[in-house]
Homo-oligomer: A and B are copies of this chain.
Amino acid sequence: MLYLMRAEMGEQPAVLRRLADEAWRAVRAVAQQIRDRELRYVFLAARGTSDNAAAYFKYLFEIENGIPCGLAAPSVVTLYRAQLRFHDALVVGISQSGQAPDVVEYLAHARANGAFTLAITNDLESPLAQTSDYTLPLHAGAERSVAATKTYIGTLAVIYLLSEALNARHDAPQRLRHAATLIEQVLQREPHIQEIVDRYRYMRECVALARGINQATAQETALKLIETCYVMCKAYSVADFMHGSFALIEPGFPCLLFAPEGATFATTLESASKLRAGGAETIIFASDADILSLARTPIPMPADIPEPLSPIVYAVAGQLFAYHLALARDLNPDQPRGLQKITQTR
């Protein structure tokens, strides 16, 4: 049986290609606004999976565009009724459904208080879209699985295009098509991942680690493991993990580590050695042979992925891991207990 979650994971390359074909014009218009208005800061309001996409936004725009970004705390507006003053700021609301009431209210507040506002959503008619100055749609088609996959990848892709448009890199759609191909390569590795998850049938807790821009990947994989497998998984920056939480490490403690090539690789490799020395059970997603050799369970990834695109590709490996672990545990990944597709929080 093909579950909805897996079917929608399979649509992800098509979503990227559709965005490459159809989103570039709208994305460039938003980039033009950011330039014309000389916006200097970005704040991002989001919940759940979308909050992980917001982490990607923050790293990407800081690294590639030099614009400091912060994550919003919606309760400051919705419960404390604070009056935030936004000068020269872009405020972005991310919600696949566009329904999250606290994100909508935050955007309305930001717009009334000087911000230029942007919605990234899969529903152009949603309250979030109607509240914002501009909307960038995900072109992902309706998502029916409670565990979001294709809208997460679509959101990252829109963010990627926007960053590249701001840097006037006109080959961005082409690069996104390349990412679609890379995702297909990851999906082809499904039989391997299906085989190795059995070992984690009775895993109760774990951590998901990464450094830098793949922080988003660690967070998203942790959320997928929680939602579909009920595994208590906490995501950390590898650096933060060394401050205190490293005390969790005892022989056999499972650590998922995302270690793509790029600026963070050397320090991640060091951390992998420390984890191994501490006896951790290391599950390493990487293309580099040295770091894979430190894994109890290596998960080889395609090589030569441009670093800004790596979260789009690595997230799919995380999805496969969570999905097949759910099946190995005889759980239905389409019916997480206690959840509905749209969560209403204030």
A281: Cβ under 8 A from any B Cβ: no
CB distance from A144 to the nearest CB of B (A): 16
- 202-237 of chain A: CB within 8 A of chain B: 204-205, 211-212, 215, 223, 226-228, 230, 232, 234, 237
Instruction: Please indicate the chain B residues that have their CB under 8 angstroms from the CB of A278 in the complex.
Output: 338
What does the 1/0 interface line of A294-333 toward B look like (CB < 8 Å)? 0000000000000000000000000000000000000000
Instruction: Please indicate the chain B residues that have their CB under 8 angstroms from the CB of A82 in the complex.
Output: 62-64, 66
Given contacts A226-B244, A226-B247, A245-B227, contact A66 B49 (CB under 8 A): no
Question: Looking at the complex, which one of B73, B75, B227, B263 makes contact with A79 (CB distance below 8 Å)?
Answer: B263
CB distance from A291 to the nearest CB of B (A): 16
A244 touches B227 (CB 8 A): yes
Given contacts A244-B339, A339-B247, contact A79 B211 (CB under 8 A): yes
A62 touches B66 (CB 8 A): no
Among A28-36, A40-48, A168-176, A282-290, the one that faces the other chain is A40-48
A71 touches B71 (CB 8 A): yes
A343: Cβ under 8 A from any B Cβ: yes
- Chain A interface residue count: which class? 35 or more
Residue of B nearest to A85 (CB): B66
Protomer copies: 2
A87: Cβ under 8 A from any B Cβ: yes
Question: Looking at the complex, which one of B59, B87, B228, B234 makes contact with A232 (CB distance below 8 Å)?
Answer: B234
CB distance from A334 to the nearest CB of B (A): 12
B68 touches A264 (CB 8 A): no
A338 touches B246 (CB 8 A): yes
Query: What is A's interface to B at a CB cutoff of 8 Å?
Result: 40-41, 43, 47-49, 51, 58-59, 62-64, 66-76, 79-89, 102, 147, 204-205, 211-212, 215, 223, 226-228, 230, 232, 234, 237, 239-240, 242-250, 263-264, 267, 278, 336-339, 343, 345-346
